[in-house]
Structure formats: C-alpha cells, structure tokens
A and B are shown apart, each in its own frame.
Chain A
Amino acid sequence: MMRLPWFEFRAPSSVAEAARILAAEGPDAMPIAGGTDLLPNMKRRHQTPRTLVSLRRIESLKKVSNGAGLTLGAGLTLTEVIHEPKAQPYGALRQAAAQVATVHLRNMGTLGGNLCLDTRCTYYNQNYEWRKAIDFCLKKDGGICWVATASKRCVAMSSTDCAPALIAIGAKAKLVSATDERELALESLYNNDGIEYLKRRPDEILTEIRLPPAAGWRSTYWKLRRRGAFDFPVLGVAAAARFAKDGTVEEARIALGAVASRPFLVPKAAEALVGKKLTDDVIAEAATLAASRAKPMDNADLDLYWRKQVAADFVGYALRELRGDDMRGTRLRIARQIL
C-alpha cells in the first residue's frame, strides 16, 4: 500500500482566496487541480506539501472566452479542452490533449496541471524505497545525477504534451498571486532545469492560457511513445504555420517537447520555412535543423539514439500534415489512436 502523507486540505472558491492561502502558507503549500501528477508524486514522497490548496471549486478557472483569440481557464479538464467547440481551430492543442495519458486521466487532469507537470526521470519516478536503495538523486533527497554523473544540473525531462503544442500556437500564460499578476509567453514559463523547471513562484496560480486568433493558421502535434495509451511522451513535435493563399509560409513556429528539461521553440527551423512553399526539400531542411536541437537523455523509455534519430522524421510528419498531405495512415500507425 502506498499511502499519501498527511496534509492539511483547503478548498477555496476563488482565485483570490487560493492566492491568499498560498501566500500565507509559503512554499510548504501546493495547489492541486486534477491531482493526477501531484498525488502519484506524493505517494512516492517526491513532494510532501504541508497544505494542499484544491483549485477544483474555483468556477472562474473553468471559463472559456473569446476575444482577440481564445482564453482557456487553467482548470478545464483535458477532456473538456478536447471537446470545446471554440478550441477546434487549434489542431495541435486538441491532438496533444487527446494523447495525454488515458481517457480516465483526461477526465481528471487539467490543462493548468499539464502545463505545470513535474519533470520526469527513470531514477526519480520510483517509490521512496527504490530511490533510497540507490542513495537518491539530485532531483530529490540526493546529491548525484544518475543519468549524467558529472552533471551539476538535474536533467529530468519535461513531459507535458500540451506545452509544446501551445508554445507552437503562440499561447500566453497568466499567473496570479496575492500581490500581483503577470502574463508571459508560455515558452518563458519554463527553465531548462529538471528541478527549477518553472518560472512560476510557489505563491502564483496559473489562471488562464491565452491563444492568439487562429485565422490563417494551421497547427499539429506529433507524439512518440511506446503504447497508444498511458505513456508519457519521449518526443513531442508541434508545428504551426500561417499560409498565404498560394501556400507560401508567412509565419511559422516549431516546438519540441520531451527532449530537454523544458519544451522549447526552434526559431532557426521555423525561419527556414518562411517565404517558401512546403516542398519536400524545404521540409527536409527544417526537419534537420529542428532535430539537431533535440538532446534526449537516457532517462526515459525507448532507446536514446533511436529517439534522437526519429526526431527529424517526426518534424517531417508534422510539416507534411500542415502542407495538407493525408497523414491519417502514418498517424494511426504512430499514435494507434484516431485523432
């Protein structure tokens, strides 16, 4: 039996109240949304917050609103995001959310929780006794990184599917605390550090994700994992492009996930598309540029070298889908899921 540790449970009904509790309790308090990441982690004693501040009763975190673009509340479940009619033009988000975990977990897990997901590593995502047996690791309770023993920094991997998708879409994140609020490009929410992987302060709540207008844009997300359900990504590729009427790319973004401690943009690869039509040669060039930035570590499922090798193929699939190729067969072979 893996029991949760003791904690004090709070269930505020507004963001302001939740922010006040987080400010008063300090870093010993943590927000909990769907709990599908935090509760397994607490069972394994990765996190042992003294106070859990549940966000589930906060109605405003469930809002969906149109304006210039679309604003999604961080408290929407992934299932709600997938079925949200207003989110349909944002293909990459829908495809990413639909490939997270399993149906049950998508009914529980939220968009905000997905974006704040803890980083993962084979030496970290183990129970307490297992970790103790190897004298722990840098990320939690220990002093050495077992993936790269000379590394000063923890190389645990960013494993969120929605973040690369939303970064390619050009989304912004809103953070609210008891004293201030700020909005930042989603990409800058992340640090390339397995421990300090978020720039979010412990007293801040991620309240909404703001997506720019989708008009003229197409976006897509491709995920590599062993099984067609359950598994976290070991590679995530998101691409978005705005096309002129004749098919020339006017603007583009390519983002990678699960190949570093943060999801990130590869501007060089995107620039290689601008002003051009997506011919096979143009796609191949951009794919090589993007894949050169994929630096997976040997701390997740599947062979490391193969994961690096297929990065270019996956960027190619994404760009061909944007170009309008019928990728359903390839998609079904890889995702083992109709998307």
Chain B
Amino acid sequence: MSQGVMVRRNVHIDLRVNGETQEASFAPYKTLLEVLREDLGLTGTKHGCELGECGACAVLVDGEPQLSCLVLAVECEGRSIETVEGMAKGAELHPLQAAFADLGAAQCGYCTPGILMTAKALLEREPSPTRDRIREAISGNLCRCTGYQQIYEAVEEAARRMKESA
C-alpha cells in the first residue's frame, strides 16, 4: 500500500459540543463518535454497529439528527454538535429524559441516547407530533428490548409536559 509515505499528522480543530467550544486533536480518520467518546470523554453517545444500521450513535449536527459513526470529525469544524450530555440543565432532566424514566421507555438503555436526541430534534420542529410522525422520526433507531410502545408514549408525554410548561 502506498500509505507508507503518507505523512501521518493529527488534525487540530475547534469543536462546538453542547454549546461549548473545545480544542481537539485527533487522527483525521476518526469519526465524530470516536472523538466524542475517546478524545472528549463524552461516552453518553453509544457505539453500536458503526455502519449506520442502528441509530445508537445519533447526535444532533446543526440541530439535525445524524449518525456520528458516519460523520468525519474533521468535517465538524464550525458546526454545532449536541449530545445526550447536553440535555439536562444542571440537576434538572430534559422533559424527554424525565418522561422516558417515568414511563419505562428504557430497559438496557443502549438505544436511549440516540432516541432522545432524535426525539429532541423532532419536538423542536413539531411540538405536537402525531403518533405516525413520531414513528417515522425514530424509525432509524433500533431498540432491541423496550419495544416501541413505551417509547412512543414517552415522547408524547414529554410533548404534553413541554407544552404545559411553555
């Protein structure tokens, strides 16, 4: 392979994660998922299939749900990244987190951060989504244990609570 002659240098960029800008230095081949978990210590975002087939790694990039296992971290300079760590405000859970806990919408919890972020983007755009819209929005997030019923109900409950407190 011709890679032997390649100059192997880290890239240094500023990443804006959960509203805070941080300097990061990493190998250019690293995905956003790898940089979040390994370089920034943000292990809330889960590492599932690594191939775009499960949604466990979903984060918001400029407010839009994307799969961090298929985003190159070098491409993220100047973009806003939101992860599950940014959801709670101090000790206060985000209404989605609270509703997921109250209604048993997480069992092993592995899919939960990806679903929370995906649902957060949905509710920011559509404060009162129908069941069909919720189903469609999280159809790219696999859950292998809870089953989707409780998850749909928790998203609906969070939407209700957010409207009441607005």
Find out whether the CB atom of B66 lies under 8 angstroms from the CB atom of A104: yes
Is B75's CB under 8 angstroms from A48's CB? Answer: no
Contact with A along B116-139 (1 / 0, CB 8 A): 001000000000000010001101
Say if the beta carbon of B35 comes within 8 Å of chain A. Answer: no
Are B70 and A9 interface neighbours, CB within 8 A?
no
Binding-face segment, B47-55, B93-101, B102-110 = B47-55
- Least distance between B81 CB and chain A CB atoms (Å): 14
Task: Report whether B29 and A3 are in contact in the complex, using a CB–CB cutoff of 8 Å.
Answer: yes
Q: In the complex, what residue of chain A is closest to B2 when comparing beta carbons?
A: A50
Q: Is A16 an interface residue (CB 8 A)?
A: no
Binds B, one of A32-40, A68-76, A185-193, A284-292: A32-40
Q: State A229–B53 Cα separation when bound (angstroms).
A: 10
**A6 pairs with B50, CB closer than 8 A:** no
Q: Which of A4, A104, A337, A338 contacts B29 (CB 8 A)?
A: A4
When C-beta atoms are compared, the residue in chain B nearest to A105 turns out to be B52
For B133, give the chain A residue with the smallest CB separation. Answer: A338
- Cα-based distance from A108 to B57 in the complex (angstroms): 14
CB distance from A333 to the nearest CB of B (A): 15
Picked from A7, A28, A56, A338, the residue with its CB within 8 Å of the CB of B132 is: A338
Question: Which B residues are CB-close (under 8 A) to A11?
Answer: 74-75
Chain B 45-70 interface 0/1 with A at a Cβ cutoff of 8 Å (1 = within): 00100111101001000001111001
Is the CB of A149 closer than 8 A to any CB of chain B? no
Residue numbers in B under 8 Å from A338 (CB-CB):
132, 136
| A102 contacts B by Cβ under 8 Å | yes
- A8, A50, A107, A230: the one contacting B65 at CB < 8 Å is A107
Q: Does A244 contact B (CB under 8 A)?
A: no
What chain A residues lie within 8 Å of B70 (beta carbons)? 35-36, 39-40, 105, 108
Is A133 part of the contact surface with B, judged by Cβ < 8 Å? no
Cα separation A316 to B150 with both chains bound (whole Å): 39
Q: Is the CB of A103 within 8 A of B52?
A: no
Q: Which residues of A contact B74 (CB under 8 A)?
A: 9, 11
Residues of chain B with a CB closer than 8 A to A274's CB: none
Q: Is B50's CB under 8 angstroms from A43's CB?
A: yes
B89 in the interface, Cβ–Cβ < 8 Å? no
Q: Which of A298-339 contact B (CB under 8 A)?
A: 337-338
On chain A, the residues within 8 Å of B1 by CB distance are 48
Chain A 1-39 near chain B by CB (<8 Å), digits 1 or 0: 111111111010000000000000000100010011001
Find out whether the CB atom of A103 lies under 8 angstroms from the CB atom of B137.
Answer: yes
* Chain A interfacial residues counted at CB < 8 A: 36
Chain B CB count within 10 A is highest, among A9, A43, A52, A104, for A104
A38 to B8, CA, bound (A): 21
Q: Are B64 and A230 touching (Cβ within 8 A)?
A: no
Query: With a CB–CB cut-off of 8 A, which chain B residues contact A48?
Result: 1, 3
Tell me if B11 counts as interface (CB < 8 A to partner A).
yes
Enumerate chain A residues within 8 angstroms of B139, measured Cβ to Cβ: 102-103, 228-229, 337
The answer to the question of A64 belonging to the interface, with a C-beta cut-off of 8 Å to chain B, is no
Chain A residue nearest to B65 (CB atoms) is A104
Contacts of B29 in A (CB 8 A): 3-7
Per-residue A-contact encoding for B1-13, CB less than 8 Å = 1, 0 else: 1110010100100
> Which residue on chain A has the smallest CB distance to residue B74?
A9
Contact at B65–A7, with CB atoms within 8 Å?
Answer: no
Q: How far is the CB of B61 from chain A (nearest CB, A)?
A: 8
> Is A101's beta carbon under 8 Å from chain B?
yes
Does B27 count as interface, using CB distance less than 8 angstroms?
yes
The complex places the Cα of A28 from the Cα of B2 at a distance, in Å, of: 9
B140 in the interface (beta carbon within 8 A): yes
Interface 1/0 per residue, A39-64 and B, CB below 8 Å: 11001100010101010100000000
What are the 10 closest A-B residue pairs judged by CB atoms, nearest first? A102-B140, A229-B139, A4-B29, A40-B51, A104-B140, A9-B28, A39-B70, A2-B50, A103-B140, A107-B64
What are 14 A-B contacts with C-beta separation under 8 Å?
A4-B29, A5-B29, A7-B28, A8-B28, A36-B67, A40-B51, A50-B6, A102-B55, A102-B139, A103-B118, A104-B67, A104-B118, A108-B70, A229-B139
